[in-house]
Amino acid sequence: MLLALAVDRTGSGLWAASSVLYLTFVTHLSAQQIGVLLGVAGVAGIAGSPLAGRLAGRFPVRPLLIGCHLLRLVTLALVLMCDGFDALLPVVAVTYLGDRAAKTLEMLFATRTAGARRVAYQALSRSAANAGYGLGAGIAALGLAVGTGGAYRALILGNALSFLVAAVLVWRTNEPREETVEVAGAANGPRPEPQPEPLRSEPHPQPLPHPHPHPQPLPHPHPHPQPLSQSQPHPQPLSQPQRPARRASPWRDRGYLTFVLLDIPMNLDDSVLGVGLPLWLVNRTSAPHALVPVFLVINTVMVVALQISVSARAEGPRRATRAVLLYGGLMFVCCAFLAVATRGGTWVATAVLLAAALVVTLAELMRSVSSWELAVLLAPENARAEYLGVAGMSQSIQKSAGPPLLTGVVMAAGPAGWLVLGALVAGLSAVQRRACVRRLRTLAPPAAQGTARAATAP
């Protein structure tokens, strides 16, 4: 599964490093059109996470994930046949739908596989994914160095073929079936079948009371046993609450929906790295275009090298909520670097943009661990698949709102727009942390609330 994830992300690295430049120099779309295209595609991707979560609750994850890979294989092949904005819009939208669904299915697969060690498994999957991203970015750097239309098209084709390879690898992977094991255990566990045996032996004690009439008159002189019969209705109400418990729904859980809503701006690092940095470099600085894949290489190397250690330091509710605050501070620093990048020449812009890529990667490390851990901790165990499907919507909504926000508002406002964006993300990170701490204390049982307060205390 980790190999399939790495192959998938290798193709995604090709797309991330070359898509903006492909849309700019091959299909000749403007920055605003690219922002709208990716934004509308992100809106379509919003449905991918809850749809995948609902289907994963009814069907095995493996065939669903294979279907998502094959769907993206077809849509990316169609991208190479489309030239205009109108033709690209529905194709890229369906691609994003399959992409978000696949990521949710991969997260559910990791949760079922790792169990309580989900944080360590997530760290390994992130490392494998980013290793693939790095390989894809390195291959993309060669294509961008050539700089021809054929080279750009070859990179998109390589992304499409990666989904075919990933589908084959997933098909050869065995899916854990924890639910089946639990059902089997439940079937074997309740073994009250020996009860019919005492029923067969009950006829023997029944004839014994008949030769002894004494037990029959004894109840009559004592009226106390009669009130005992009146007290018998008390155990009866105990059977009334045995109604089928309503399955928890994330759509009726205001606390969890608040977490998902505030988690949207906590994912803006993705749009900043994939859209903001490349377009800001091309349109507002004199830095070389070949620097675009270098951003992804920096991102990949840092994540592979630091993901496991960072995840170990961010495990648990207290550390996860602290990572949210660190994310806001790092995003503010990154936006400040982008605002300064326009004030120097080629070398200054290059150095500042590389520093921004480094800082936004640190923010991604904070977000990848805290968002994952909190999404699981804040969800009830009996409906975790549906809750995680809704939690995945925050990334989908960010992918839809992030690109047009950056291209149409932040970049249009110039350096000041980046500073305002950084300040807003930093402020919302403090609000998110406070909301998560409050919900964690609410979910803790009364006996453990004191421990929960200590675990989530600053």
- The four Cα atoms 79, 80, 85, 90 give a dihedral, to 10 degrees, of -20
Max intra-chain CA distance, the chain? 112
Q: What pLDDT was estimated at residue 267?
A: 93
Q: Residue 74: how many CA atoms within 13 Å on its side-chain side?
A: 10
**Measured between alpha carbons, how far is 238 from 232 in angstroms, rounded to an integer?**
11
CA distance to 63, 175, 407, per residue, from 172 (Å) = 11, 10, 42
Nearest-5° Cα angle at 367, 393 to 93: 35
CA distance to 3, 108, 129, 255, 430, per residue, from 307 (Å) = 17, 19, 11, 29, 23
Enter the tokens of residue 105: 């299915």
The total of other beta-carbon atoms located within 10 Å of residue 331's CB is 30
Q: What pLDDT was estimated at residue 89?
A: 94
pLDDT in tens, 92-138: 999 989 988 988 888 777 666 666 666 666 667 777 877 787 788 88
Q: What pLDDT was estimated at residue 247?
A: 64
Q: Which of 161, 115, 118 is nearest to 15 (CA)?
A: 161
Q: What pLDDT was estimated at residue 55?
A: 87
CB 366 within 8 A of CB 310: yes
Enter the tokens of residue 419: 């500073």
Q: What pLDDT was estimated at residue 159?
A: 92
pLDDT in 10s for each residue of the chain, 458 residues: 778 888 888 888 888 888 888 898 889 888 889 999 988 888 887 788 888 888 887 888 888 989 999 999 999 999 999 988 999 999 999 998 998 898 888 877 766 666 666 666 666 777 787 778 778 888 888 888 887 888 889 999 999 999 999 899 888 877 665 543 333 333 334 444 444 444 444 444 444 444 444 444 444 444 444 444 444 444 444 444 455 456 678 788 888 899 999 999 999 999 999 899 999 998 899 998 888 888 988 887 888 788 778 877 777 788 888 999 999 999 999 999 999 999 888 999 999 999 999 999 999 999 988 887 888 888 887 777 788 888 878 887 887 889 999 998 999 999 999 999 999 999 999 999 999 988 888 876 654 444 445 445 55
